[in-house]
Amino acid sequence: MIEGDLDISIIGLPESGKTTLLAAIWHVVREGGSATVLKFQGLSRGNYEHLNTLAVNWRRGKKPQRTQTSGMKLVSMRLKDVHERTVSVSFPDIPGEDFSRMWEKREFDEETLKTLKTTAVVLVVNGDTIRFPAWIVDQMAIVKGAGLPVEEAGVVDWRAELAPTQVKVVELLQFLMSGELNIGPRRLAVLITAWDQVEGDGMNPAEILAVKLPFLDQYLRNARDPWTWRVWGISAQGGVYEDQEKDEYLLETEALRDLDRPSDRIKVVDGEIVRSDITLPLEWLIE
Ligand SMILES: Nc1nc2c(ncn2[C@@H]2O[C@H](COP(=O)(O)OP(=O)(O)OP(=O)(O)O)[C@@H](O)[C@H]2O)c(=O)[nH]1
Ligand SMILES: [Mg+2]
């Protein structure tokens, strides 16, 4: 474990679960009696107002608002490990749109770039909203099979934003290993979020990666870029939260609010082992 300051970048496409992850981490390290491997040690630089607001909404069972594209928020926490060693962990809460722009338009925000030169990286992929490749041949076969005219196949012109999730994500990881961002070998925690929506498939995180994100899986396994990586399934909410803008009320969310401790909502899946300590992937990153 490295002592002192350590920065962790959290990367992920829009609505992948980055902000929810921060909210849940901030809640659990401050919740009385919660047993985490990393614990709250003290405040350091950073935006606590932002973190506190996120954690309040998380406890209330409200979905976070989309992170705004203007003004990235750097949040920073001082944590200690089981050996009482202190580590200061900073994460920028970056809007996913910034990552989309990198991929779609090759546009880079200088502030964002600065935060990406860290040896520890968390990649967040929302398991519930993976966009699969759409094969035109398959669509054509369906249309022809239904006896419809070929124009009904709904073929659209190629646009970068329509690319499959794993294509964008692999490209992002390659960006981090090229040009000025290439700082040598790094650690990568791949978190498949919204695990509560994925677990019904009966697969463990490595299997989900291989089956639903095979291109990402192959990129990591072939190790052309020097990532030391590991995959977890994470449910940072335990289920679906309510939309605060629509004044929504869901029984599913009510059941989560009824749990004894808010941290009981969390699931961290490592192979076949399920725990509720959301700081475990962070501990692995800084070990
Ligand atoms: N069911 C379920 N949904 C989740 C979970 N974690 C996040 N979500 C949902 O995923 C959506 C996106 O979450 P955010 O945390 O806002 O994602 P983000 O990556 O910060 O998004 P941007 O700020 O737009 O980049 C929200 O609707 C969340 O409620 C989870 O553990 N379970
Ligand atoms: Mg966000």
**pLDDT per residue rounded down to tens, the chain (287 residues):** 455 667 888 888 889 999 999 999 999 999 888 789 999 887 666 668 888 999 999 999 999 988 776 656 778 888 888 888 887 777 777 777 878 777 777 777 777 788 888 899 999 999 998 877 666 667 677 777 878 776 666 666 667 677 788 888 998 899 899 888 899 999 999 999 999 999 999 999 999 999 999 999 999 999 989 999 999 999 999 999 999 899 999 999 999 999 999 999 999 999 999 999 999 999 999 88
**What class has domain 4-131+173-286?**
alpha beta
What per-residue confidence (pLDDT) applies to 1? 46
**Ligand 1 lined by 276 (C-beta under 6 Å):** no
Atom in ligand 1 nearest the alpha carbon of residue 124: 19
The amino acid at residue 12 is: G
What per-residue confidence (pLDDT) applies to 130? 84
The amino acid at residue 222 is: N
**Ligand 1 lined by 95 (C-beta under 6 Å):** yes
Dihedral sign computed on CA atoms, order 12, 15, 16, 18: positive
**How far apart are the CA of 164 and the centre of ligand 1, in A?**
18
Domain residue extents for the chain = 4-131+173-286
Q: Which two tokens stand for residue 283?
A: 């501990």
Q: Which two tokens stand for residue 202?
A: 């009966």
Q: Which two tokens stand for residue 95?
A: 């809007």
What per-residue confidence (pLDDT) applies to 86? 81
**Ligand 1 lined by 113 (C-beta under 6 Å):** no
**Ligand 1 lined by 96 (C-beta under 6 Å):** yes
Rounded Cα distance, 35 and 87, in Å: 18
